[in-house]
Structure 1
Amino acid sequence: MDETKCKSSDKTNQCKQKENKYTKSTKREEKINSKDNEKSKDSEKPKGKSKDDDKSKDIEKSVDDEVERLFKAMNGLGTDEQTVIDVIVTKKNQQRQEIRQKYKERYNKDVMSDLKSELSGDLQEVILGLMMTPSEYDVDCLHEAMSGMGTDESMLIGILATRTPEEIKTIKDQYKIEYKKDLEKNIKSETSGDFKELLLELVKGQRPQGDKIEEKISEDEAKKLNKNGKGKLDKKHFKSIFTKYNNKQVPAIFEVYKKISDKDVLELIEENMKGDVKNGYICLVKSYEDPVDYYVERLHGAFDGIGTNDSRLIRISVSRSEIDLAGIKQKYKENYGKSLNEEIKSECSGDYKTALLLLVGEE
């Protein structure tokens, strides 16, 4: 501002005040602009790593480390079975699938093929089973149940009667990929009679899900089943109970049947069926009524008698490991006064025993 334009001292003072005011205002604006620029620069700076980023990198490093351990365990002088057990048995299935994928990326080799060539016997069966996805393992079990002499009714029922429609579809697709044959066709060729018809109904994967129980349905179906107290079984109607209703409704029907007939449904099966279909329906009823108790009984049967049914022991331990194995262990001790760990220690040996004990967990 030009001071010559301020002719009086008052005007001069006014002018100076205006200058000071203007100067202060300008400085304030500059200061604000400066702060805004700093903020803008800060916003342009790359943000620091989040905790999630660090966690993700730690997980990736852990997978890489385990893949390397596994590779070295199978590529030295002989196979380091203990390391293989430590790497695989201690993981969840999702982690094992990450190891499986990373192994392929890093070494351009299939870890399943390497494990198959480096391991043998029961230990191989445990490790390969654990490395499969749940649907792959179901497919393997189903194929095994229909191979060789006779069929394993309980294995077939245990899988097909307890899977959701989505899981059944995945199993059928996986079976076709693995064995170049439809699961339905294999069931038709390997089973027969009423048992075949039951399996074919179950493999359709149309059974309702959920846990809703309707009392009227229970009463109506139980009355039909009782057939006026004559004790005769309408097999077609009996089969429909397992394919029309969910896992909670079916036992509810049998409870009402027991009240009005004074007879357990298992007795009805024993009196009216024989062979594969009888065994199949017994397994089916037990798996619906109490799945944990069903597997406890199956496990005890694996240890009972001459020799151990290692295949059954392995398949139950692997397939139930992330579902209800803890409950199975507890119920086993309650039912038989001996822990599952004790049974394994007395009936199994070597690396196979080590792997199973680690899988089952401490008492």
Structure 2
Amino acid sequence: MAYRGSVRPFVNFNAKQDAEILHKAMKGIGTDEDAILMLLAARSNDQRQQIKAAYKKAYRKDLVSALKSELGGLFESLIVALMTPPISYDASQLHKALKGAGTNDEVLIEILASRTGDQIKEIIKVYKKEFGGELERDICGDTSGHYRKLLVTLLQGSREEGVDEGKIEKDAKDLYAAGEGRFGTDEEKFITILGNRSAEHLRKVFDAYKKLSGCDIEDSIKGETSGNLESSLLAVVKCTRSVPEYFAEGLYKSMRRAGTDDDTLMRIMVSRSEWDMLDVRASFKKKYDASLYTTIQEDTTGDYQKALLYLCGGND
């Protein structure tokens, strides 16, 4: 598979040299934000971890703490996010979503619906290591009902592989019978099928469902469910159809409302930068007939904006 991230490893990488540049940028009066930004945005996460180690060795100080003491606001949050290994970043976002006052369901849904089974298994391990808790237990303590059941199913990270031709029609009929085809909804059926089948299989099921019922599965979910269950089922369907499109929509919503939702904007830009940002950008352009780059330009300012534009990787 071709690399689809916007941030790629820096070619002539030298961790020791980079650590020195960062040290100079933070020494003395005033901080050279531009130097920090240009350097860190042009390194892969793996390289940033090596810079962190080299910095510690040379200056006996933690690089992230040093950056935090020099920077502020959204720019600081973004740089700290870039310095965090991806799985730790996901784990910390989930921890924050569960441990704050009230649960941030948007974050739970976004991460659990969009990450691969292997990533989810890693997140569970890192969550335990860094926060001393069981992710599943924490999620169960903060959620309830069918919504909880779906999240727990996604947490198992055990989607089937490939397409089971023999099951396509049956799954489509079962979904129809569980929703449109009856009075009241059989949520369990939706959860079992959407939570366990592979993405390739589900795409075929959705086509069969449309033939059978005359409407898209999304419309049925909207008509048959509500609240967090509806949001999480829709997220699963969107990620099954196209993960980049799901994130393009998330980015659009984060910027195109009164006041920018910087938490979401930052989370998506950071977590997709080495994964599929080029596809997210293309989906954004196709869906909204606007460039992600220009939209970020219009919605943000300062060093924070500059860093986001670097992560965007170019203007369509």
**Structure 1 length-normalised TM:** 0.78
- Aligned match of 1:159 in 111, 115, 125? 111
- Aligned match of 1:105 in 52, 57, 60? 57
Structure 1 residue 214 corresponds to structure 2 residue 187: no
- Aligned match of 2:230 in 271, 278, 291? 278
Label 1:347 to 1:164 Cα distance change in 2 as closer, same or farther (>3 A).
closer
Query: Partner letter of residue 165 of structure 2?
Result: E
- C-alpha contact (below 8 Å) 2:203/2:241 kept by paired residues: yes
Structure 1 residue 253 corresponds to structure 2 residue 231: no
Q: Which residue of 1 aligns with 2:8?
A: none
- Aligned match of 2:77 in 125, 133, 137? 125
Deviations 1:208-265 (A, max 9, x none): 34xx223221111111112296255321111111332112112221221111111211
- C-alpha contact (below 8 Å) 1:225/1:233 kept by paired residues: no
1:149: how far off? 5.1
Q: Which residue of 2 aligns with 1:25?
A: none
1:83: how far off? 1.1
Q: Which residue of 2 aligns with 1:68?
A: 20
Tell me the matched-pair count: 303
Q: Which residue of 2 aligns with 1:54?
A: none
For 1:283 and 1:147, how far apart are their aligned partners in 2?
A: 22
Deviations 1:267-321 (A, max 9, x none): 2211221111111111111111111111111111011121111111111111011
- C-alpha contact (below 8 Å) 1:158/1:287 kept by paired residues: no
- Aligned match of 1:230 in 177, 181, 199? 181
For 1:344 and 1:217, how far apart are their aligned partners in 2?
A: 43
Mapping 1:75-224, distance limit 5 Å = 75-148=27-100, 150-209=102-161, 212-224=162-174
**Identical residues among aligned pairs (%):** 36
- C-alpha contact (below 8 Å) 1:299/1:316 kept by paired residues: yes
Query: Partner letter of residue 172 of structure 2?
Result: A
For 1:141 and 1:202, how far apart are their aligned partners in 2?
A: 17
For 1:104 and 1:221, how far apart are their aligned partners in 2?
A: 55
Gapped regions of structure 2 (runs ≥ 5): 1-10
For 1:144 and 1:325, how far apart are their aligned partners in 2?
A: 24
**Structure 2 length-normalised TM:** 0.89
For 2:132 and 2:26, how far apart are their aligned partners in 1?
A: 31
For 2:189 and 2:78, how far apart are their aligned partners in 1?
A: 40
Considering Cα pairs closer than 8 Å and 6+ residues apart, tell me whether 1 or 2 has the greater RCO: 2
For 1:189 and 1:97, how far apart are their aligned partners in 2?
A: 34
Deviations 1:315-362 (A, max 9, x none): 111101111111211221222222111111111111111111111122
Gapped regions of structure 1 (runs ≥ 5): 1-57
Label 1:196 to 1:279 Cα distance change in 2 as closer, same or farther (>3 A).
same
For 2:121 and 2:27, how far apart are their aligned partners in 1?
A: 38
Query: Partner letter of residue 109 of structure 2?
Result: I
Mapping 1:329-348, distance limit 5 Å = 329-348=281-300
- C-alpha contact (below 8 Å) 1:104/1:110 kept by paired residues: yes
Using the TM superposition, name which of 130-139 and 325-334 deviates more.
Answer: 325-334
Q: Which residue of 2 aligns with 1:22?
A: none
- C-alpha contact (below 8 Å) 2:194/2:233 kept by paired residues: no
Query: Partner letter of residue 23 of structure 2?
Result: F
Structure 1 residue 299 corresponds to structure 2 residue 251: yes
Deviations 1:29-73 (A, max 9, x none): xxxxxxxxxxxxxxxxxxxxxxxxxxxxx957x221111011222
